[in-house]
Structure 1
Amino acid sequence: MSDNQPRPRAGSQPNFWEKHAVPRIIKFACSQPAVMKDRSEVVPKAKGHVLELGCGGGINLQFYDRTKIDKLTGLDPSAELLDYTRSEAQDRGFDMEILNGIGEAMPFEPDSFDTILTTFTLCSVQDGKQVLNEMRRVLKPGGKILFLEHGRAPDKGPEKWQQRIEPMWKHIAGGCHLHRPVSKLFTAEGFALQEEGGHYAPKTPRWLGWMEFGEARPL
């Protein structure tokens, strides 16, 4: 599941399921207790001018350490999920710039952000390598990426189930990929990982429950 809902293919419009059901499913699934615990440990590490990639739903707003935040900007392609974000920001009195857009073509100048936060978003982007290239472009020198994602399980049994289920799962869950190797994607694109970790979420099927988290910095 993902905080971020992928854009429709060029020339197409979201169908009823994508427009109305998927945002609600995403918001519910990404707010479960085990997920919220992981968020509470990752999000407070953000500081400076922060970009939250896949901010739809506004779920992370409760976890930011506002004493560390100079400015918060959010980017997401789902208009429906951004409505949730605006409502949540207003309810919490959070002054936040909220933009509709995709990670593959971020509408920001180079060297704009001290921190990029991505939670349960990289699973559903269309081009992971391009998104990481854009992250590198908009990060300030010395900037960091904080990530909390679900991805390819390290054990053969759950991984095989991920491969079997993923084709159907993507249609149900807004383009979410179960089998993307998140940490390896970062290292393959020239990022160094710090404080990297992972675990299976409790009370969750292992093919769905592998969580990876850490900090990535461009080399």
Structure 2
Amino acid sequence: MNVHQLRRVPLVAKWPVTPCRRASTKTPRPPKPSPKSSKPVAIKRRQATPPRQPPTLQSTQPESPKAETPKQGHGIPPRALTFLGISALTISTYCGYLYASYTREVSKAQTLDVPRDVSDRYNTTAATFDADVELSEKAMGLGKKRRDLVRQAHGNVLEVSCGTGRNLPFYELGERRGTDADGRAAVLGCRSVTFVDLSPQMVAITKEKFEKLYPAFPAVFKACDAGAVSPSDLQRSGVKNGEPVYFDTIVQTMGLCSMPDPAATLRHLGSVTEPKGGRILLLEHGRSYYDWLNRILDNLAPAHADRHGCWWNRDIGEIVRESGLEIVEEKRWHLGTTWRYVLRPKQAQKP
């Protein structure tokens, strides 16, 4: 066979060419079914990832997978421990000082021979009395208790053991019509006031204070024993001649502790108090509810009475019962050492 006679065959086979489709006319081809399964396969769409935020200062430091738990301690800063230690040392030192002072005063008090009547001590302490008791009375709130008691005074008023006039700012001088604590119509305020005390020096101080506070209001001042107040003294306080001599209100604050016979004094005061509506108002200090505190008062009583003219360990409740007066009101504060009484004359029982 001759080689030249062979037909030339093109090297590239001519395949049928399909026309090209534009991009706008392209349609997605359906997925070919898998030969292994006849079920259609769901196409998962990619979720849009959120935009990345700029790293913060905290994210710059890598976090450890497991944070170490701090060790638990007492939780008190060293400075607080130091302060507590110094405070405890100071308190213990002060308590030791008080105990040493107490034992020294007790041993000294046992050697004193103090008379029952120590009222003459106020003649020497009158000038400094207000300064001596001011701090303690403020700490105990006695100013408010004095005010609440004295505000009940009305009519013709007698204050015994007036001292240096520490009750003067609380008086309502001048009568006026109003209502009492029970809401009934009554005459309030003081018609007249009389002040007595065993110490002339204290009466003089009271008079000077009163004239500064109430220069236009007349009052009576006298240095005498409250247990011997006579009707003639009462008549000078504004009571008309020929009328029964009685006081509508008698006030006494911190006075039973210095009287030689306090029960007898209260009985006498009851005899000059108006029998029906009269009242005796007392604010006193004395024995406590507790035996341990009473032992302290008893141990220091002689030294305190010799220095200040006050027996602070007297049983005020027993004194009131011995007087025979009728108790209208009784209150106690400060572990029972502060006593408040509203008394009146014993009412005669009807047959």
Give the TM-score, by structure 2 length.
0.53
Separation in structure 2 between the aligned mates of residue 185 and residue 72 of structure 1, nearest angstrom? 26
Separation in structure 2 between the aligned mates of residue 189 and residue 213 of structure 1, nearest angstrom? 16
Matches within 5 A, 1:54-69: 54-66=161-173, 67=175, 68-69=189-190
Deviations 1:69-105 (A, max 9, x none): 0110011011111121011111111421111101221
Partner of 1:203: none
2:123 alignment partner, one of 7, 16, 19: 19
Give the fraction of aligned pairs with identical amino acids, expressed as a percent. 26
User: Which entry has the higher C-alpha Rg, 1 or 2?
Assistant: 2
Structure 1 runs of 4+ with >6 Å offset? none
Partner of 1:49: 156
1:146 alignment partner, one of 277, 281, 291: 281
Separation in structure 1 between the aligned mates of residue 133 and residue 172 of structure 2, nearest angstrom? 20
Matches within 5 A, 1:71-150: 71-93=192-214, 94-108=217-231, 111-142=245-276, 143-150=278-285
Deviations 1:152-206 (A, max 9, x none): 11111111111111111110012x1111111321122211212210101xxxxx6
Partner of 1:11: none
Contact 2:331 2:341 in 1 (8 A): yes
30 and 193 in structure 1: CA distance in 2 versus 1, 3 angstrom threshold: farther
Contact 1:199 1:211 in 2 (8 A): yes
Separation in structure 1 between the aligned mates of residue 163 and residue 312 of structure 2, nearest angstrom? 20
Contact 1:151 1:181 in 2 (8 A): yes
Separation in structure 2 between the aligned mates of residue 87 and residue 172 of structure 1, nearest angstrom? 25
Contact 2:280 2:343 in 1 (8 A): yes
RCO higher in structure (CA 8 A, sep ≥6): 1
106 and 7 in structure 1: CA distance in 2 versus 1, 3 angstrom threshold: farther
Structure 1: which 5+ residue stretches go unaligned? Answer: 9-16, 201-205
Contact 1:114 1:140 in 2 (8 A): yes
Q: CA deviation at 1:53?
A: 0.5
Deviations 1:7-57 (A, max 9, x none): 54xxxxxxxx7533x224433344432221210111101111010001121
Partner of 2:29: none
Q: What is the count of residue pairs matched by the alignment?
A: 198
Question: One-letter code of the match for 1:38?
Answer: K
Separation in structure 2 between the aligned mates of residue 163 and residue 95 of structure 1, nearest angstrom? 43
Separation in structure 1 between the aligned mates of residue 341 and residue 119 of structure 2, nearest angstrom? 26
Contact 1:50 1:71 in 2 (8 A): yes
Question: One-letter code of the match for 2:344?
Answer: R
1:214 aligns with 2:341: yes
Partner of 2:84: none
Contact 1:26 1:173 in 2 (8 A): no
If each structure's strand is expressed as a fraction of its own residues, which one has the higher value?
1
Structure 2: which 5+ residue stretches go unaligned? Answer: 1-116, 176-188, 233-243, 347-351
If each structure's helix is expressed as a fraction of its own residues, which one has the higher value?
1
Q: CA deviation at 1:147?
A: 0.5
Give the TM-score, by structure 1 length.
0.83
SS of equivalent to 2:231: coil
Contact 2:271 2:345 in 1 (8 A): no
Contact 1:51 1:113 in 2 (8 A): yes
1:28 alignment partner, one of 96, 107, 131: 131
Partner of 1:13: none
